[in-house]
């Protein structure tokens, strides 16, 4: 039995039936963190605890020891330490688990061990439970003081690994890698002994003699008034005690042998379908196989036939071209394109259409958006009210669009995004090629979490760890399809992901994401990348253009200034002479000389002269302007010219990137996810369950003498190995979801035990294998899916469908789908011919109105496509937000689809949509002239890609007539002579209604 | 998932208002319109079904004591030792240097001054003898109806994360807000008005802007809807361009006709029904919202009592009165914000805090009395508080003049009060240390506070959850939380 809850307040609340999820634990986790991770809490004053008195004297051996041996050691032995717990010795018991100590000596009932066994949570369901007698013995022992006869080594001795995490947390920002105040480095024992300016920091065995403790006790370190400026908090009493005890014990060190051993993953864990490599299943035999076009149809049809269903008839061509165009490019087919396709007699007309759509650059603009969702793309930092912009983030967006358009193989796409900085030596490259630059732009993938660390007060270690956690979440949910984030605070409760494996992943990223060596998300003074996250490695050609422009401006400004200075000098001199003329001649030469000498170099005589005459002689530039109206004019003109030139400066082209800095700090498991509660040291590695049971992967520097750890590159290469059970599956499932409305695994980000099992497991596997076989080509996957008979079905729902496939999980039809937010906006702009065709580049601006309406700005070319509109967290254009553009938290694995009244209000009442309807009407009028029926037909053709049905035409004609009459009445008074106005207004109103119709926003 | 079960609507005092939009649409409304949203979620096993998320009233987990909430959010962090928590020890040690003792808890160390006493006078009020300082004279008359918690604390001393914490239980954006959770769990009783209404200040948005009432990973139907106190109350409620009403109606008719043809050709697609309903709701909301916001229906005496005739109190008074009218009409959750952060008294605390209270004290007291008099206080939970408290030491302004001193943020202690909706009036819970720096006895966390609010509404904080990205997400998250039953009637 296994409680789903994180909390353990059974004492205050009776257990509720609806809450408990009974899960067969299948040896997933042994001891879980039942108590919550109060990691964000730091109560300054703790409530006093009742001290329980030991009532009797019962020792562990031999009774309890035997029970533990029989019932617990299978999982919690020295070798196979589930949840970091070794119950085979008193030392192990006292050391505790990944959640910390398991015995509570003050309040025995609160101890984790007692909690787990007394509540029946341990042993797990599939193991023999404790008998009542056994439980009684354990109770007697625990409440009797939990004593051991064997007392040797009962208290684990301190090592450097107890002390180093504290020093990293409180000291090394000033006494470590990047800064070494007073010459002191506190990152190793040797360095502490070497000490700094004032001598050794520690004297082993002599706490009283140790300088570090003296300074801390004196309240001098860390310096109180500087805490916030380096985002450090003072050492806690407990930390100080640990440090003192370690020094007192002679500062013992253990050799840095390989840190924690492999996590306990057994074969049974690995047997779960999603942890097995995909197999290339043959398509099942099908009755009535003329319906099938490719293997997708065979798998789908076989399942349908098992339900007594079959594929629906193919959709007509007008429906198909609208569906495929919106799906692949996010834009509507133009009326001519529809006409051409509908009348194309070529048997490969549809294939040609798909090829044309995939070759369109609008394809990349559409499909990049899906990827930006999983990456959590945002043009702002979030967190603070200012919602700071990320002016360089768009380079990542452009990279993704270009990658999709170029059909960059998915394995390469991942390598670049996860470890682009370790793919090529950009630092010593003579020439920055597009490829090198792309490698770095791609790493922006891991730079999109909400991030407040640009400000000191939100840049403490726990704030940074939140960013790291979000990035690990983005990576694992989007690419690996696992809820790895659960293992941050405790081993995953359902999937075999031990907490240790989570911190192994954290160690993989430590070279770039080191909470003790942090780069600011804000551009800082100094060279890009020295203390911030920006690199100047855009393609050399682009950089040259920028530099040349800068140089040109600097040169021209200098020339202007020079000319201006000369003029000024000349005129000043002229006026000075006039003033001097008024003074006795004998003084003139001396005064002139005095004025030329800087104040501090003057002789006593000159000083005297200065005191007397300088004020009346000295002519400042401002004075000169007053004296000389011509100069005033010249000066104004000069300022104007300089300003105009300066305005031509462009921001330095930079890449918001992620790169390995070569010296990651050590990674410790954090018990309950709490940064103040470090556990064992861990090495970089991967989830063992996905790697044949071991976490180890080979890590080498990416090139000889590289100042990079190579950790992420090794990880990325591991991720795209053919045997990886998840990478290909997760991606083909995502592509499938966008084509067919729901994934084969509907939980796109959770392929684990709590995810949904695949509806068509063999099809999923086959697609995954085909994906790898075709060189990870995403476009090939589109072709496979979009060309299938399954995709070409019509979307009509029959009574049979409702009875046997109400959810459409067996794909008995294509689902009717609403346009995504971007598609709604882009197609409204498209039919009004107000869509700016510009490709890539800095984001289009948005403005907020006082009442909260947020709109995008436009240029002469029109409005930019939605993907290019600024994605500022606090300023999402209302139209996109209303149609479910997600908040990135930290990313969006799958959008929700809402049908809410504000959507109607917006499409009806918003000024922009209304304005677009007038443009749309103008276009219709140009095509159709004044004939109402022609107008209706053309409006349908442009907006819906088809001609109106009888009933629609009738409704539209009646409405146009009524609208014309109404506009007649409304405009009677103002525009007596303009008989043509009412019909145009009526057409506009009609077009506005059509933009509001369900037929427009829904795709058959 | 209990809160998703079908329900039988209970006729209630408020059903009168449900019938505002009666007629032909009413049946369609309760069946279709309420179901505003189709979201998907992942159950722990089995195949995911697309689930309809709606605003229809839902069954509670246990018998509720309150059916509506008015949350009076005091942006900025009201100072506990200057309003509700007198500290004689602080008076005595005024001027003593204390910074080093709390260095890690001070946001602006360079401006940190010595211990600073409260500039106001405290007195005991009501039968319960609650201490209230003299800047809240009106509330002082209501203390027997409120339960004061003096021992609340939070986890972050910066506005943004602290606001997220108090509003959504997490320190980052992206979590559903309290109001979103409540409407997700309970639905609402008036389908013509939004379930969750935010009355923000016409002078400007609070810190974190609209993210304070975000639905996060809950479906967007649970998002707070901003009602503006003047002008068109809802964004896009009326055409943002010139057009005769007649044209608007003709367009609506045409859309309705075309959509019905479209629907008829596509049976079995419930989202199309919902869409038609959405358009109809949009039209009706214009009427219902206008009615709720029409304060001319109130008597002169009522308007006077809320301070509508006084420039200082007019704005907040108006929102308090609207809040009552919304709750009366069955709106589930009403949240009031104030522009900027008038309770963020870093400098000039003496005048600043007094001014903040002057704007809010009278309207709030009027609201409590009005609700009580109308019998609405029994079922309306009124909650007052900010995002954190303030430090016992002074924060000095640039000129270092202690006369203009204020107080910096403090996450370790804050005051909050609750009233109505099954709360035991006149309760004073918890203590802080001698200087008011940190909550001491009966420490109440933000999640305890959340759990208590949910509890009064008949919801259990551990049972109100949604499956999101493989986790059962709750308002109280993974944190231990308890219902603060000491303050319950």
pLDDT level of residue A624 (50, 70, 90 thresholds):
confident
Q: Mean of the pLDDT values across residues A218-237?
A: 88
Q: Mean of the pLDDT values across residues A10-24?
A: 32
CA distance A475 to chain B (A): 13
d(CA B72, CA B336): 5
Q: Are strands B112-115 and A678-682 parallel, antiparallel or unpaired?
A: unpaired
Q: Mean of the pLDDT values across residues A502-527?
A: 94
On whether the CB atoms of residues B194 and B223 are closer than 8 A, the answer is: no
pLDDT level of residue A581 (50, 70, 90 thresholds):
confident
Quote the pLDDT of residue B365. Answer: 98
> What residues of chain A lie within 8 A of the CB of B2, using their CB?
18
pLDDT digits (tens, 9 = 90+) for A232-243: 988 999 999 999
CA atoms A549, A555, A560, A564: torsion sign = positive
Which residues are CB-neighbours of A569 under 8 A, at least 6 positions away? none
Residue of chain A nearest B242, judged by CA positions: A911
> What does R_g of chain A's alpha carbons equal in angstroms?
36
Quote the pLDDT of residue A155. Answer: 52
On whether the CB atoms of residues B461 and B450 are closer than 8 A, the answer is: yes
On whether the CB atoms of residues B449 and B416 are closer than 8 A, the answer is: yes
User: 324-353 in B: which are within 8 Å (CB) of A?
Assistant: none
Quote the pLDDT of residue B27. Answer: 31
**For residue A14, is pLDDT > 50?**
no
d(CA A763, CA A776): 17
Quote the pLDDT of residue A727. Answer: 98
Quote the pLDDT of residue A259. Answer: 53
Q: Are strands B428-429 and B146-152 parallel, antiparallel or unpaired?
A: parallel
Name the most confidently modeled range: A126-140, A195-209, A264-278: A195-209
On whether the CB atoms of residues B484 and B444 are closer than 8 A, the answer is: yes
- Helical (H) or strand (E) element with A854: strand A854-856
E strands, A295-401, are none
Of B217, B226, B237, the CB nearest to A905: B237
pLDDT level of residue A382 (50, 70, 90 thresholds):
confident
Tokens standing for A985?
Answer: 């207004």
Q: Where do the domains of chain B lie, and which CATH numbers do they carry?
A: 14-54+234-284 (no CATH), 68-233+293-487 (3.40.720)
d(CA B226, CA B197): 6
On whether the CB atoms of residues A777 and A783 are closer than 8 A, the answer is: no
Of B211, B250, B258, the CB nearest to A952: B258
> What residues of chain B lie within 8 A of the CB of A884, using their CB?
220
Tokens standing for B336?
Answer: 């009031």
Tokens standing for B72?
Answer: 């009076």
Which residues are CB-neighbours of A279 under 8 A, at least 6 positions away? A765, A769
User: 188-207 in B: which are within 8 Å (CB) of A?
Assistant: 205, 207
**For residue A520, is pLDDT > 90?**
yes
CA dihedral A478, A479, A483, A487 (to 10 degrees): -120
**Other C-beta atoms within 10 Å of A97: how many?**
29
**Other C-beta atoms within 10 Å of A346: how many?**
9
Quote the pLDDT of residue A697. Answer: 92
Instruction: Determine whether the interchain pair A234/B104 forms a contact, defined as Cβ–Cβ distance below 8 Å.
Output: yes
Query: Is B44 an interface residue toward A (CB < 8 Å)?
Result: yes
Quote the pLDDT of residue A594. Answer: 84
Q: Where are the alpha helices (DSSP H) in A670-726?
A: 711-719
Instruction: Determine whether the interchain pair B480/A477 forms a contact, defined as Cβ–Cβ distance below 8 Å.
Output: no
Of B42, B205, B258, the CB nearest to A997: B258
Instruction: Determine whether the interchain pair A382/B173 forms a contact, defined as Cβ–Cβ distance below 8 Å.
Output: yes
CA atoms A113, A119, A121, A127: torsion sign = positive
C-alpha angle with apex A358: A353 to A360, nearest 5 degrees? 95
Tokens standing for A745?
Answer: 């695994």
pLDDT digits (tens, 9 = 90+) for A460-470: 999 999 999 99
**For residue A902, is pLDDT > 80?**
yes
Which of A64-68, A359-363, A395-399 shows the lowest per-residue confidence on average (mean pLDDT)? A64-68
Q: In this structure, what are the phi and psi dihedrals at residue A1003, rounded to the nearest 5 degrees?
A: -115, 125
On whether the CB atoms of residues B381 and B452 are closer than 8 A, the answer is: no
> What residues of chain B lie within 8 A of the CB of A1004, using their CB?
266
Instruction: Determine whether the interchain pair A889/B174 forms a contact, defined as Cβ–Cβ distance below 8 Å.
Output: yes
Domain ranges for chain A: 1-41+51-153, 160-248, 409-538+667-719, 540-653, 909-1003
Quote the pLDDT of residue A450. Answer: 87
pLDDT digits (tens, 9 = 90+) for B157-202: 988 889 999 999 998 777 899 999 999 999 988 888 889 999 988 7
Tell me the DSSP string of A118-163. Answer: HTT-SS-TTSPPPPHHHHHHHHHHHHTT-B-S--TT-SPPP-HHHH
**For residue A483, is pLDDT > 50?**
yes
In Å, what is the CA distance from A893 to each residue of A125, A481, A734, A761? Answer: 33, 9, 9, 21
> What residues of chain A lie within 8 A of the CB of B440, using their CB?
45
Which residue from B177, B159, B210, B70 is spatially nearest to B387, judged by alpha carbons? B159
Query: Is B72 an interface residue toward A (CB < 8 Å)?
Result: no
Q: Mean of the pLDDT values across residues A56-65?
A: 78
d(CA A344, CA B320): 66
Q: Mean of the pLDDT values across residues A120-129?
A: 83
Instruction: Determine whether the interchain pair A483/B470 forms a contact, defined as Cβ–Cβ distance below 8 Å.
Output: yes
pLDDT digits (tens, 9 = 90+) for A783-825: 999 999 999 999 999 999 988 998 899 999 999 999 999 999 9
Quote the pLDDT of residue B469. Answer: 66
pLDDT level of residue A710 (50, 70, 90 thresholds):
very high
Instruction: Determine whether the interchain pair A36/B228 forms a contact, defined as Cβ–Cβ distance below 8 Å.
Output: no
On whether the CB atoms of residues A840 and A402 are closer than 8 A, the answer is: yes
Instruction: Determine whether the interchain pair B246/A996 forms a contact, defined as Cβ–Cβ distance below 8 Å.
Output: no
Per-residue pLDDT of chain B (489 residues; tens, 9 = 90+): 334 333 333 333 333 333 333 333 333 333 333 333 333 333 333 333 344 567 888 999 999 999 999 999 999 999 999 999 999 999 999 999 999 889 888 888 888 999 999 999 999 999 999 999 999 999 999 999 999 999 999 999 988 889 999 999 998 777 899 999 999 999 988 888 889 999 988 777 788 777 888 888 887 678 888 887 666 678 888 899 989 989 999 999 999 999 999 999 998 887 788 788 788 888 888 788 888 988 999 999 999 999 999 999 999 999 999 999 999 999 999 999 998 789 999 999 999 999 999 999 999 999 999 999 999 999 999 999 999 999 999 999 888 888 889 999 999 999 999 999 999 999 999 999 999 999 999 999 999 999 999 999 999 999 999 887 667 899 999 888 999 999 999
On whether the CB atoms of residues B182 and B454 are closer than 8 A, the answer is: yes
CA atoms A313, A317, A319, A320: torsion sign = positive
d(CA A949, CA A936): 11
Q: What residue has token string 């398509």?
A: A283
d(CA B213, CA B226): 9
pLDDT digits (tens, 9 = 90+) for A157-196: 788 999 999 999 999 999 998 999 999 999 999 999 999 9
d(CA A479, CA A973): 64
Q: How far is CA A702 from the centre of its chain?
A: 25
On whether the CB atoms of residues A836 and A863 are closer than 8 A, the answer is: yes
Q: In this structure, what are the phi and psi dihedrals at residue B44, rounded to the nearest 5 degrees?
A: -65, -25
Instruction: Determine whether the interchain pair B247/A970 forms a contact, defined as Cβ–Cβ distance below 8 Å.
Output: yes
Which of A445-449, A591-595, A937-941, B60-64 shows the lowest per-residue confidence on average (mean pLDDT)? A591-595
C-alpha angle with apex A243: A237 to A244, nearest 5 degrees? 85
**For residue A154, is pLDDT > 70?**
no
Q: Is A611 exposed, middle or buried (0-12, 13-18, 19+ CB in 10 A)?
A: exposed
3-state secondary structure chain B: CHHHCCCCCCCCCCHHHHHHHCCHHHHHHHHHHCCCEEEECCCCCCCCCEEEECCCCCCCCCCCCCCEEEEEECCCCCCHHHHCCCCHHHHHCCCCCCHHHHHHHCCCHHHEEEECCCCCCEEEECCCCEEEECCCHHHHCCHHHEEEEEEECCCCCCHHHHHHHHHHCCCCCCCCCHHHHHHHHHCCCCCCCCCEEEECECCECCCCHHHHHCCCCCCHHHCCEECCCCCCCCCCCCCCCCCCHHHHHHHHHHHHHHHHHHHHHCCCCHHHHHHHHHHHHHHHHHHHHHHHCCHHHCCHHHHHHCCCCCHHHHHHHHHHHHHHHHHHCCCCEEEECCCCCCCCCCECHHHHHHHHHHHHHHHHHHHHHHHHHCCCCCCEEEEEECCCEECCEEECCCCCCHHHEECCEECCCEEEEEECCCECCCCEECCECCCCCCECCCCECHHHHHHHHHHHCCCCCCCCEEEECCEEEECCCCCCCCCCHHHEC
Higher pLDDT, B388 or A588: B388
pLDDT level of residue A57 (50, 70, 90 thresholds):
low
d(CA A279, CA A284): 14
d(CA B144, CA B127): 7
Instruction: Determine whether the interchain pair B155/A899 forms a contact, defined as Cβ–Cβ distance below 8 Å.
Output: no
CA distance A839 to chain B (A): 31
**For residue A639, is pLDDT > 60?**
yes
**For residue A74, is pLDDT > 90?**
no
**Other C-beta atoms within 10 Å of B50: how many?**
18
Terminal alpha carbon distance of chain B: 29
**For residue A316, is pLDDT > 90?**
yes
Which residues are CB-neighbours of A356 under 8 A, at least 6 positions away? none
d(CA A93, CA A973): 93
Tokens standing for A258?
Answer: 């390989």
Which of A254-263, A611-620, A686-695, A746-755 shows the lowest per-residue confidence on average (mean pLDDT)? A254-263
Which residue from B160, B163, B192 is spatially nearest to B177, judged by alpha carbons? B163
Tokens standing for A279?
Answer: 């197999």
Quote the pLDDT of residue A37. Answer: 36
**Other C-beta atoms within 10 Å of B307: how many?**
27
């Amino acid at each position: 039995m296994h409680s789903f809850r994180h909390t353990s307040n059974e004492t205050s609340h009776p257990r509720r039936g609806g809450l408990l999820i009974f899960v067969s634990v299948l040896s997933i986790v042994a001891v879980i963190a039942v108590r919550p991770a109060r990691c964000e809490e730091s109560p300054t004053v703790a409530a006093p605890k009742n001290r329980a008195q030991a009532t009797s004297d019962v020792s562990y051996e031999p009774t309890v020891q035997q029970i533990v041996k029989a019932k617990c050691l299978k999982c919690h032995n020295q070798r196979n330490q589930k949840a970091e717990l070794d119950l085979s010795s008193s030392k192990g018991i006292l050391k505790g688990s990944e959640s910390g100590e398991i015995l509570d000596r003050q309040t025995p009932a609160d101890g984790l061990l007692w909690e787990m066994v007394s509540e029946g949570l341990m042993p797990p369901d599939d193991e023999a439970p404790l008998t009542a007698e056994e439980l009684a013995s354990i109770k007697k022992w625990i409440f009797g003081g939990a004593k051991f006869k064997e007392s040797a080594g009962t208290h684990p001795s301190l090592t450097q690994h107890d002390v180093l995490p504290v020093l990293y947390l409180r000291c090394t920002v000033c006494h470590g890698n990047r800064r070494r105040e007073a010459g002191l480095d506190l990152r190793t024992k040797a360095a502490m002994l070497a000490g700094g300016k004032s001598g050794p920091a520690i004297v082993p065995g002599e706490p009283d003699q140790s300088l570090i403790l003296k300074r801390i006790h004196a309240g001098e370190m860390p310096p109180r008034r500087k805490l916030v400026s380096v985002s450090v908090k003072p050492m806690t009493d407990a930390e100080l005690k640990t440090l003192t005890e370690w020094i007192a014990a002679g500062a013992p060190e253990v050799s840095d042998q390989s840190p924690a051993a492999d996590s306990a993953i057994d074969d049974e864990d690995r047997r779960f379908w999603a942890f097995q490599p995909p197999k290339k299943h043959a398509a099942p035999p099908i009755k009535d196989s003329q319906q099938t076009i490719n293997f997708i149809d065979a798998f789908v049809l076989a399942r349908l036939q098992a339900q007594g269903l079959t594929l629906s008839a193919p959709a007509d061509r007008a429906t198909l071209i609208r569906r495929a165009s919106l799906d692949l490019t996010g834009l509507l087919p133009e009326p001519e394109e529809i006409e051409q396709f509908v009348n194309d007699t070529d048997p490969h007309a549809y294939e040609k259409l798909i090829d044309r759509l995939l070759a369109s650059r609008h394809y990349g603009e559409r499909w990049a958006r899906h990827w930006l969702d999983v990456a959590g793309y945002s043009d702002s930092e979030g967190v603070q009210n200012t919602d700071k912009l990320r002016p360089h983030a768009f380079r990542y967006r452009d990279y993704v669009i270009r990658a999709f358009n170029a059909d960059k193989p998915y394995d390469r796409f991942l390598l670049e995004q996860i470890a682009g900085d370790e793919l090529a030596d950009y630092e010593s490259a003579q020439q920055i090629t597009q490829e090198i630059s792309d490698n770095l732009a791609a790493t922006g993938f891991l730079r999109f979490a909400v991030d407040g660390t640009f400000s000191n007060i939100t840049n403490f270690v726990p704030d940074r760890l939140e960013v790291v956690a979000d990035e690990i979440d983005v990576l694992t949910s989007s690419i690996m399809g696992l809820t790895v984030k659960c293992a941050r605070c405790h081993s995953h409760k359902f999937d075999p992901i031990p907490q240790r494996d989570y911190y192994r992943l954290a160690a993989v990223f430590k070279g770039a994401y080191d909470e003790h060596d942090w780069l600011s998300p804000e551009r800082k003074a100094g060279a890009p990348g020295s203390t911030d996250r920006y690199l100047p490695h855009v393609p050399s050609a682009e950089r040259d253009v920028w530099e040349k422009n800068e140089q040109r401006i600097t040169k021209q400004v200098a020339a202007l200034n020079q000319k201006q200075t000369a003029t000024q000098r000349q005129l000043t001199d002229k006026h000075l002479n006039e003033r001097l003329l008024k003074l006795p001649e004998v003084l003139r030469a001396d005064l002139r000389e005095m004025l030329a000498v800087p104040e501090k170099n003057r002789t006593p005589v000159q000083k005297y002269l200065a005191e007397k005459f300088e004020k009346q002689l000295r002519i400042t530039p401002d004075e000169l302007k007053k004296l000389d109206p011509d100069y005033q004019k010249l000066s104004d003109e000069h300022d104007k010219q300089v300003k105009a030139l300066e305005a031509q400066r462009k921001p330095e082209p930079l890449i918001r990137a992620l790169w390995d800095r070569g010296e990651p700090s050590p990674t410790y498991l954090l018990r309950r996810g709490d940064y103040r509660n470090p556990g064992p040291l861990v090495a970089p590695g991967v989830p063992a369950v996905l790697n044949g049971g071991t976490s180890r992967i080979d890590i080498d520097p990416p090139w000889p003498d590289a100042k990079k750890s190579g950790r992420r590159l090794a990880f990325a290469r591991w991720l795209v190995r053919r045997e990886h059970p998840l990478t290909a599956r997760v991606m083909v499932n995502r592509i499938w979801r966008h084509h067919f409305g729901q994934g084969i695994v509907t939980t796109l980000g959770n392929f684990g035990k709590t995810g949904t099992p695949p509806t068509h497991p063999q099809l999923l596997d086959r697609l995954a294998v085909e994906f790898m076989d075709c060189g990870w080509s995403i476009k090939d996957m589109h072709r496979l899916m979009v060309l299938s008979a399954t995709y070409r079905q019509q979307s009509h729902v029959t009574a049979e469908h409702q009875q046997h496939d109400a959810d459409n999980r067996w794909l008995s039809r294509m689902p009717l789908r609403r346009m995504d937010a971007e598609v709604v906006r882009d197609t409204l702009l498209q039919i009004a011919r107000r869509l700016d065709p510009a490709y890539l580049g800095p984001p289009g601006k948005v403005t907020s109105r006082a009442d909260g309406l947020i709109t995008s700005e436009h240029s002469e070319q029109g409005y930019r496509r939605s993907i290019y509109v600024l994605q500022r967290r606090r300023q999402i254009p209302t139209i996109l937000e209303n149609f479910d553009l997600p908040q990135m938290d930290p990313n969006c694995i799958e959008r929700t689809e809402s049908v809410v009244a504000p959507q109607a209000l917006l499409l009806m009442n918003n000024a922009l949509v209304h304005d677009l309807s007038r443009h749309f009407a103008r276009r219709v009028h140009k095509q159709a002239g004044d004939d109402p029926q022609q107008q209706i037909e053309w409006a349908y053709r442009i907006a819906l890609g088809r001609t109106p049905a009888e009933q629609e035409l009738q409704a539209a004609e009646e409405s146009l007539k009524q609208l014309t009459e109404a506009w007649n009445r409304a405009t009677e008074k103002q525009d007596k002579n303009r008989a043509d106005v009412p019909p145009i207004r009526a057409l506009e109103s009609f077009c506005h209604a059509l933009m509001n119709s369900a037929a427009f926003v829904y795709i058959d | 998932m209990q809160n998703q079960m079908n329900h039988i609507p209970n006729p209630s005092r408020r059903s009168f208002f449900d019938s505002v939009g009666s007629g032909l649409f009413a049946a369609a409304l309760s069946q279709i319109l309420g179901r505003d949203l189709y979201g998907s979620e992942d159950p722990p096993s089995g195949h995911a079904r697309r689930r309809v998320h709606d605003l229809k009233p839902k069954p509670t987990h246990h018998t509720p004591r309150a059916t509506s909430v008015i949350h009076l959010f005091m942006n900025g962090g009201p100072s506990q030792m200057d309003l509700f928590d007198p500290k004689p020890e602080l008076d005595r040690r005024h001027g003593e240097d204390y910074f080093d003792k709390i260095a890690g808890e001070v946001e602006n160390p360079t401006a940190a001054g010595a211990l600073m006493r409260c500039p106001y006078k405290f007195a005991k009020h009501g039968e319960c003898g609650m201490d209230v300082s003299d800047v809240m004279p009106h509330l002082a008359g209501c203390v027997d109806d409120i339960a004061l918690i003096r021992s609340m604390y939070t986890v972050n001393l910066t506005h943004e994360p602290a606001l997220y914490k108090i509003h959504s239980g997490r320190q980052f954006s992206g979590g559903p807000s309290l109001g979103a959770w409540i409407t997700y769990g309970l639905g609402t009783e008036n389908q013509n008005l939004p379930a969750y209404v935010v009355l923000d200040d016409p002078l400007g948005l609070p810190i974190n802007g609209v993210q304070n009432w975000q639905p996060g990973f809950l479906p967007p139907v649970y998002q707070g809807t901003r009602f503006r106190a003047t002008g068109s109350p809802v964004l896009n409620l009326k055409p943002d361009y010139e057009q005769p009403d007649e044209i608007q109606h003709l367009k609506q008719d045409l859309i309705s006709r075309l959509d019905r043809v479209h629907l008829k050709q596509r049976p079995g697609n419930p989202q199309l029904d919902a869409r038609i309903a959405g358009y109809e709701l949009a039209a009706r909301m214009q009427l219902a919202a206008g009615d709720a916001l029409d304060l001319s229906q109130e008597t002169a005496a009522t308007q006077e009592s809320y301070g509508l005739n006084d420039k200082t109190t007019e704005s907040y008074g108006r929102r308090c009165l609207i809040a009552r009218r919304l709750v009366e009409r069955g709106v589930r959750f009403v949240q009031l914000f104030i522009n900027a952060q008038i309770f963020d008294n870093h400098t000039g605390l003496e005048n600043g805090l007094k001014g903040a209270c002057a704007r809010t004290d009278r309207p709030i007291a009027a609201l409590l009395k009005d609700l009580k008099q109308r019998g609405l206080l029994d079922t309306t939970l009124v909650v007052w508080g900010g995002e954190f408290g303030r430090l016992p030491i002074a924060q000095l302004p640039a000129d270092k003049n202690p006369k203009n001193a204020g107080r910096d943020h403090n996450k370790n202690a804050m005051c909050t009060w609750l009233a109505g909706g099954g709360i035991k009036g006149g309760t004073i819970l918890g203590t802080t240390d001698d200087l008011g720096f940190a909550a001491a006895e009966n420490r109440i966390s933000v999640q305890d506070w959340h759990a208590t609010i949910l509890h009064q509404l008949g919801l259990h904080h551990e049972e109100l959850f949604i499956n999101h990205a493989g986790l059962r997400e709750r308002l109280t998250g993974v944190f231990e939380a308890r219902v603060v039953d000491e303050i319950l009637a």
